Chains A and B, each alone.
Chain A
Amino acid sequence: MPHRTFFWFFFPSGLAMLLFIGLPIISSFFQSLHIEPEQILMEVEKCDPFGCKTETKVDIEATTKLQEEQPLGRFNGLGTYVDRNHLAFDEIKEAWTNSSSIPEFTDILLNLPFYKALLFTLTFCFAVTPPVVVLGFIVALSVNTITKSLKGPTIFGVILPMIVTPLIGSLVLFWMIDAKGILGSFIQFLFDDPNLSLKSSSQLTWITLIIYGIWHNTPFAFVVFYAALQTVPQDPIEAAIIDGASRYERVRHIVIPHLYPVATFIILICLMDNFRVLEPIIGFAAEGVAQSLSWMIYNDLRSENKMLFGSAGATSMLTIIGVAILLTPVLIRTWREFRTER
């Protein structure tokens, strides 16, 4: 296809992506270099019959004028990146010199907002992914063996948790897990503790969120594994049966090796998607104990009168760096695939 034709075919799609995905990243970066203008204070001398006092108060006129001149705020360089709410270099340095032991230092470190969020995000990613792969595989194997007429409805039932948006999915589970809901009461009954609530401690909330993550992501792994199972070659399996291999041995030595590439694909997609975890935190009302990087950005942008564009931009940039690290293996894989195709 000549360049010219290609250009006109691709132009609308390319323009949309450039304007609304490429530019926002740049705009986000630009915002992160600025900080909201401080309010301009002025000293006013106030005199009453008992004498004169000087007071400081906000010069509203000058502040609005400054805001109009510089809507983005003043230039701050990388200041926002290193402040207390982000990388917090000063606080870390201070903690390092002041703390007497490593646990004390990590304790201080993990109480800084950014590192706390990073810890949760990574814990969520890496705790959800392995069970998802294993469960997805087992479910795919089982569905593959049931009668043909039952397959359709079964697959439909299994993929439901993936279809609903994470907010709705987490709400549905949250209402059941609530101390007054069915699962919550059951757990209380199980542990014989009428005050037990999954919301009561941060560990329990984290576990709940992770269980939600597994529930939501397993259908995806299932679907991919299930489709891949249809492509497993039959000849080696039949040969193995003749040679007397047990079902377990057949799965272990023929099916699983065939599915390795698919498994890596699932792992990478799962890690990437869970790195942006946001809605479950809102759905489970877990903001107090579990913040993710995405939630930090959401929180900065949520309040309507004072949005912290600078802070949100800086967190966005740091998140993008995280995504880039997770993405590298995918890119290398695609590169290889493409080279062999041509």
Chain B
Amino acid sequence: MESKINRYSKQLILINSFFILAWLIVSVFPFIWTFWGSFKVKADFFSRADWMFAVTGVNTLIETGDTSTVKAYVESWTEGEFWKATMNTIIITVSVVTISLFLGTLGAYALSRSTYKYTFWILIAALIFRAMPHITLVSGYLFPFFQLNVWGILPTTIIVLVAINQPFTLWLLYSFFKTVPKELDESALIDGCSYFQAFRFVIMPVMWPGVVTAGLFSMMLAYNDFTVTSLLLNQQNYTMVPKINAYLGTIEHSGNYMWAVSSVVSATAPLFMIIMFFQRQLISGLTAGAVKG
């Protein structure tokens, strides 16, 4: 687009910059506001008198002796046991990403290299599975899980999230493996490798870009999940997102409400960091299925 013939007029550049700036404010400002407000007390963040209190921190100064406070953070992490929720989130996220990548690469490699018709039906089935609302699946889990006495613990949730994640991982890695030339592993097969050896020594070294993208999406699903974790885990094993929801349930204690605000910041910050590093992979993954169509 940057050829000389296609110059932008000054007017257009002005309107354009203005629009982008406005849109950036719409999408980023809420997070900045919440970040700033998380260092205030509730009377400031939800100020009855004047919204400027949330910026200046008048009540925070009165209550704590300073214009900003980390009280909500300290309390939610210790008293509110947010550290435990964080631990659970880390355990679940790491396990889900590892297991679903392991299963996904094997499955997707097979799907991309098989020429039989059933691969198509498997992919269609995966597409249908991908479209199932998670809550409908959860309603199917609860009763059997209660009967088998596996409800409420982390391993159950991990396996469930891995399974829910499989269809998308399969599709993503399937379209990735399609771009890896077939000749590469075929020559290894001719040289006497078994399929598994070809996968291990020829495909694995070149598959990392695709795996990083797929891993990023698995991570986001496990990290962000609310439906599955809130209904399949018991209170002690809650991850971050259901924990934040649990803080909201206790509004009567005004301190707890700021716990939720500070926890939102604690939970979002690492995610934003990771996305900052892997933005390119995220975008390539989102567009994998769309652009060729």
Contact = CB atoms under 8 A, between A and B. Distances in A.
Interface of A: 1, 3, 5-6, 9-10, 12-14, 16-17, 19-28, 31, 71-72, 138-139, 142-146, 152, 154-161, 163-168, 171-173, 175-176, 178, 180-182, 185-186, 215, 219-220, 223-224, 226-228, 231, 234, 237-238, 241-242, 247, 261-262, 265-266, 272, 275-276, 278-279, 282, 285, 293-294, 297-298, 300-302, 307, 309, 312-313, 315-317, 319-320, 323, 326-327, 330-331, 333-335, 337-338
A155 to B, nearest CB: 7
Contacts, number: 292
Residue picked from B51, B137, B141, B143, most chain A C-beta under 10 Å: B143
B190 interface: no
Residue picked from B3, B114, B199, most chain A C-beta under 10 Å: B114
A20 B160 contact: yes
Given A1-B113, A146-B16, A262-B291, A13 B166 contact: yes
A334 B128 CA distance: 11
B54 interface: yes
A25 B137 contact: yes
Contacts of A265: 289-290, 293
Given A154-B20, A163-B272, A309 B139 contact: yes
B142 interface: yes
Contacts of A266: 290
B27 A323 contact: no
B291 A231 contact: yes
B112 to A, nearest CB: 9
Given A301-B138, A334-B124, 18 more contacts: A9-B195, A14-B122, A21-B132, A23-B140, A24-B136, A138-B19, A146-B20, A152-B279, A156-B276, A157-B28, A159-B283, A171-B260, A186-B51, A224-B291, A294-B133, A297-B138, A323-B132, A337-B293
Interface stretch (B63-71, B74-82, B103-111, B207-215): B103-111
B170 interface: yes
B23 A165 contact: no
Query: A-side binding surface: helix, strand, loop or mixed?
Result: helix
Given A186-B51, A276-B133, A167 B244 contact: yes
Nearest to B263: A168
Q: What are the nearest 6 A-B pairs in CB distance?
A: A24-B140, A13-B107, A20-B163, A9-B110, A165-B224, A276-B133
A158 B139 contact: no
A141 B227 CA distance: 35
19 contacts: A21-B164, A27-B141, A146-B17, A157-B24, A171-B264, A178-B46, A224-B290, A227-B291, A231-B291, A265-B290, A294-B135, A297-B138, A298-B227, A301-B139, A319-B135, A330-B131, A334-B124, A335-B124, A338-B123
Given A163-B275, A165-B241, A215-B27, A297 B6 contact: no
A172 B30 contact: yes
B206 interface: no
Contact of B33 (A154, A182, A223, A231): A182
Interface string B92-105: 00000000001110
A215 B26 contact: yes
Contacts of B245: 167, 282
B177 to A, nearest CB: 12
Given A171-B260, A301-B231, A72 B143 contact: yes
B139 A238 contact: no
Nearest to B293: A261
Interface in B211-263: 220, 223-227, 231, 241, 244-245, 248, 260-261
